[in-house]
Every structure is written in C-alpha cells, then in structure tokens.
Amino acid sequence: MVILKVCGVDCYYGSVKVLEGVSFSVNAGELVGLLGPNGSGKTTLLRAISRTLKPKVGTVLLNEADVYNMKSSDVAKNMAVVPQSSSLEFEFTALDLVLMGRHPHMRRFEREDRTDLEIAKEAMKLTNTWQLAEKPINELSGGERQLVMIARALAQNPKVLLLDEPTSHLDANNQIGIMDLLRKICKEKGIAALAVFHDFNLAARYCDSVILLHKGKIFALGKTDEVLTEENVSKVFSVEVIVRRHPITNSLYIVPISPLQEIIPTKNFKVHVIAGGGTGAPLIKILYRKGYYVTAGVLNLLDSDYEECSMLGIPTVGEAPFSPITNENHEKNLGMVNQADIVILSNVCFGHGNLKNMEAVLYAVERGKKVIIVEETPIQQRDFTKGKAEELYMKLKNSGAVTVKNYYEVPSLLKNLENELSPS
C-alpha cells in the first residue's frame, strides 16, 4: 500500500529552482534512502514533504490526500520528522521532549495522560534513552539528543517517518542500533520511512530502495543494488568507487577511491597483476589511481577484472569466456611479466583452466622479479586442481614471495619495494 506519494514536485528559493520534476512513492513497511551530493536538494525535498516549503509545482499525497489541503494536526498525526539538528533554548527534560510527540493526538489544553506516558516510555526504551528521562536536554551529548529526537518522532505513532541524516551524530554502535531499530519498526508497524544519508554503506545495508538526487533531479531510483552501482555513484558524486557485496551481510559495500580525473602514470615502476573472478579489480583501481603503470592477465573476457581493465585502458591479456588459457596467451602473459618490475598475485581461485597463471608467477620469481601474494583465504580453499595449484603455490611462497592479508596493504609495501629497486 502506497502511503506517501510525491508527484512532479518543483521547489524554488526565490527565483532559484532547487527541485525539478521529482516523483516517487514510499510504501508501507518500506525504508527508502535519499542520497546525493551537497546541494542536490535532499533536505529541500524533506521540507516540501513536511509542509515547511510549499512546492511551486506538483503535489505531495499522504494516504491519497494532498498534505497542503490537510489540517496541520492531521498531518502531524500521520507524519513525523527527525531533523538533522535541533536547538532548544529551554531546559526541557528528555521525557518532556518525547511527550511533545503526543501533542497532535491531544485536544486543546489537554494534558498528557497515562496512555501518553506509556507510549513515550516505550519509544524511549526502543531508542535506549529511558535512563535519560529526567536529564535536561541541554546536558545531553549530540548523539543522546539525536536518539531522544527519534524517540519523540516514534511517540507520534506516525504512518510516515522523515529523517534528515538520522545517524550523523552517533558512534558506530549507535548507528547500527538505530538503523536496526528503524528497519524493524518499518516492517513491524508498517511505517513508510524516507531518510537522508551521507553514508553509502548504511543506506546500502538497510534501505529497501534508494533515490539518488543530482542537481535537483532524480538521477536514479529503485532497488538498492540497481541504483548504487559504480557507474551511478561515480557520475553523481564525481568520485571513483568500488562496489562489492559483503560476504557476511550480503549487502553492498562501497569504497570511495579518489575524485575522478584523467590519470597519467607517474611511477617509474611497472606492476603486473595476475587475478581473476573479480579479485583483482579493487587492487587494479587503487594502483591505477596512485599512478602506477599497470598491466594484467590472463583474464577471461566476461570477468569483472577484465571489464575493469577495459574501462581504465589497462593493457590486458584476454582469453575467451569459459576457456582454458591457451599457450599463445600464456606467452603473451609471460611477456608482460618480463616487462614488469613487480608482479602481484590476487586471492584468485585456481582450476585447471587458469593454472598457467600460477606458472606465470613462478616464472616471475625465477627471473628475480619481486612478487607479492594477496592471501585473504588459504590456498586450500581456492584450489580446485586436486592439489596441483597448492603445490605450485607453496613453492612460490618458499621462493621469497611476500605475502599480505588483503589488497589494502599492497600500496605501502610497493612503496618499500620501490626504494629497494631504485638505483642508488
């Protein structure tokens, strides 16, 4: 059931248009993330929905009723807002502030009753703030105050919840706690929530869908994994990113690399990466951004590592999809190894089809090349050759190759190796 619907909204500040043609809907039980660069219109959109800034064009519907034709009290009974920050000059206690969330449900001059107090208490327990009930709000930390503001919104018993960066003042533990809570109450109470995020990874982990704003317009909207792609994030935020799926949470995780710009190799050292199965793309990007001249091979043409090299213009030896490495391409790979100063082996799985890549790394060691092995998981878990790959791998490790636990350790190690290789 659609609870909140935004229809073709344009908003202005004076003569400056800040939102144009914005349309979307939020269903009951859905948590929708709103992301975009500074100045893209995220907070303005929340202001338009909450009746703080009336759109010049378009409508906002709450249960099919135009919010601008509704009484303020009726809107407040159905919609709650958690602002990005709040300033309170009076020394209300935390409980006083949360009880303010009950005012839309009370008649004029009516005082809170036992039911209101129980609802406020439940909201504070949900947000782990009940122990702060008697403390003046001005004596709370920024994070504690934010939790109390969320409790006040929950005390309204809203059908729609609008949140402007709900975790901006919280530590990691409270961020996860609040997001777990928001997702839980959306599902259990059927609340439609729209939340502004600056943290890609929180949005990717918790949101059912995402709206990506850019220059006042919707650039993309839909399921989280359809919107938060490397291409979309790079275009909207002008930053190179790596997007992968986390092996434990199964949610997307996004790692910014650096602002987009044309990269010209600045290092005198050539690095050849032997990878596959997507294990090399993050490392290849990092090395490319740091100015190394990078080559790669042998990679199957449908491999994401190959696609990454193609996007960056990195010389690569490509093999036909689902085909074993041919002798011809193996020789081309050895040629690139000969040209490299340093060879890196990623945390790739080995089958009979790509075993020649392991041989290429051994070839590098035999010719005195510096070799780095990225070993995130034991080779036994990645060997599908009945021990042949493990045998070559152990020979490689015993021949002086340097092992690191993940690709983040590679840049600093490369810097040290450069100093060793530099002519005195």
Residue 416: the pLDDT is 81
Are 245 and 271 part of one and the same domain?
A: no
pLDDT per residue over 201-259, tens digit each?
889 999 999 999 999 999 999 999 999 998 899 889 887 777 877 767 778 878 776 55
CB 2 within 8 A of CB 159: no
Is residue 262's pLDDT more than 60? no
Are 231 and 287 part of one and the same domain?
A: no
CATH number, domain of 278, equals 3.40.50.720
Are 190 and 210 part of one and the same domain?
A: yes
The residue among 256, 277, 294 that closes a domain is: 256
The residue among 239, 256, 273 that closes a domain is: 256
Are 112 and 213 part of one and the same domain?
A: yes
Rounded CA-CA distance 153/77 in Å is: 10
Residue 346: the pLDDT is 93
The closest alpha carbon to 49, from 32, 86, 132, belongs to 32
Residue 424: the pLDDT is 46
Residue 356: the pLDDT is 94
pLDDT per residue over 6-61, tens digit each?
999 999 998 889 999 999 999 999 999 999 988 899 999 999 999 999 999 999 99
Which domain covers residue 18, as residue numbers? 2-256
Rounded CA-CA distance 62/194 in Å is: 13
**Main-chain phi, psi angles of 251, to 5 degrees:** -90, 165
Q: Which two tokens stand for residue 87?
A: 């300033």
Mean of the per-residue pLDDT values of the chain: 87
Q: List Cα–Cα distances, 387 to 107, 344, 350, 363, 394, in angstroms.
A: 77, 22, 10, 19, 11
Strand order in the sheet with 270-274: 316-319, 293-300, 270-274, 342-345, 370-374, 402-404
Q: Which two tokens stand for residue 162?
A: 């609008």
Are 219 and 277 part of one and the same domain?
A: no
Comparing 203-207, 300-304, 341-345, the range with the smallest average pLDDT is: 300-304
Residue 138: the pLDDT is 83
Are 252 and 267 part of one and the same domain?
A: no
Comparing 18-32, 306-320, 349-363, the range with the smallest average pLDDT is: 306-320
Which residue would you say has higher pLDDT here, 155 or 170? 155
- Number of C-alpha atoms within 13 angstroms, CB side, residue 150? 32
Are 245 and 284 part of one and the same domain?
A: no
Q: Residue range 280-304: average pLDDT? A: 87
Q: Which two tokens stand for residue 185?
A: 């109450």
Give the dihedral sign, CA 393/398/399/400: positive
Are 275 and 409 part of one and the same domain?
A: yes
Are 110 and 189 part of one and the same domain?
A: yes
Rounded CA-CA distance 37/215 in Å is: 8
The closest alpha carbon to 257, from 285, 233, 281, 230, belongs to 285
Q: Residue range 100-120: average pLDDT? A: 82
pLDDT band at 265; cut points 50, 70, 90: low
Rounded CA-CA distance 360/327 in Å is: 12
Is residue 264's pLDDT more than 70? no
Comparing 11-25, 166-180, 394-408, the range with the smallest average pLDDT is: 166-180
Which residue would you say has higher pLDDT here, 119 or 302? 119
Are 248 and 266 part of one and the same domain?
A: no
CATH number, domain of 78, equals 3.40.50.300
Residue 65: the pLDDT is 92
Is residue 85's pLDDT more than 70? no
Is residue 155's pLDDT more than 80? yes
Q: List Cα–Cα distances, 309 to 248, 277, 299, in angstroms.
A: 27, 13, 10
Q: List Cα–Cα distances, 250 to 187, 247, 269, 290, in angstroms.
A: 19, 5, 37, 29
- Number of C-alpha atoms within 13 angstroms, CB side, residue 328? 3
Residue 87: the pLDDT is 60
Which residue would you say has higher pLDDT here, 144 or 263? 144
pLDDT band at 107; cut points 50, 70, 90: confident
Count of structural domains, the chain: 2
Are 106 and 226 part of one and the same domain?
A: yes
Rounded CA-CA distance 261/291 in Å is: 12
The residue among 233, 256, 279 that closes a domain is: 256
Are 267 and 374 part of one and the same domain?
A: yes
Residue 311: the pLDDT is 78
